[in-house]
Amino acid sequence: MNSMFCRRQPKCKSLLKVDEELQQAEQTGEQVMKCRRKPTTMRVDPGEDIRLLQELAYLEHRTDILDCKLKKQQEEADRRKIAKENGLSVSCQCCFADDLFPEEVYSCTNDCCFCAECIRKSCELKLGEGDIQFPCLADCGAQFAWKTLQVNENRLSTNGVK
């Protein structure tokens, strides 16, 4: 039996990266052989290693996950296009992004409209300065109500403000 062993070392230790590297080698026609290894016992029960289980689940369902992600992105793009065509999109008065859905818009007590990113940056700036009041970004004299920030806390906290 002719035994050939690979001469290159894997670039990373992530199971996902190794799988992608092997698939790429298979697609390019590169011959991939197993590396010689010493037999070792696995010290961690795979049922207890959450990260390993997550990577294995992702590898098993990768095409479904990527298809679902692409489908959601396409649906989002279609929704934005339809909203813009029908005049349902709202624009931010700070960064002037004009393709926002009404549920993505935050307003001060004088109904000035802003996107979540502008509110997040403003809140970070004010908190960094030690201020606990959040004035309107359009300098209308009003402030963002605590209730508005609390109701939208999940959306804002995923972007960095909590």
pLDDT per residue over 21-57, tens digit each? Answer: 878 877 887 766 666 666 666 565 656 778 888 888 8
Establish if 55 belongs to a structural domain.
Answer: no
48 CB burial (10 A radius; 0-12, 13-18, 19+): exposed
Establish if 69 belongs to a structural domain.
Answer: no
Establish if 145 belongs to a structural domain.
Answer: yes
**Where in the sequence is the domain holding 127, given as residue range(s)?**
102-157
pLDDT the model gives residue 66 = 93
Q: How many CA atoms lie within 13 A of 154 on its CB side?
A: 2
pLDDT the model gives residue 19 = 78
Establish if 130 belongs to a structural domain.
Answer: yes
Higher pLDDT, 31 or 138: 138
pLDDT at 144 over 60: yes
Establish if 121 belongs to a structural domain.
Answer: yes
pLDDT at 84 over 80: yes
Strands 113-115 and 105-107: antiparallel
- 90: Cβ–Cβ under 8 A, 6 or more apart, which residues? 98, 100, 101, 102, 104, 105, 113
Establish if 134 belongs to a structural domain.
Answer: yes
Per-residue pLDDT reduced to its tens digit, 90-137: 888 989 988 888 888 888 888 888 888 888 888 888 888 888 888 888
Per-residue pLDDT reduced to its tens digit, 63-79: 999 999 999 999 989 98
CA-nearest of 105, 161, 109 to 140 is: 109
Establish if 41 belongs to a structural domain.
Answer: no
Burial 67-95 (b: 16+ CB within 10 A, else e): eeeeeeeeeeeeeeeebeeeeebbebbbe
pLDDT the model gives residue 47 = 64
pLDDT at 161 over 50: no
Three-state DSSP class for residue 114: strand
pLDDT the model gives residue 63 = 92
Type of residue found at 137:
L
Establish if 67 belongs to a structural domain.
Answer: no
How many domains does the chain fold into? 1
pLDDT the model gives residue 121 = 85
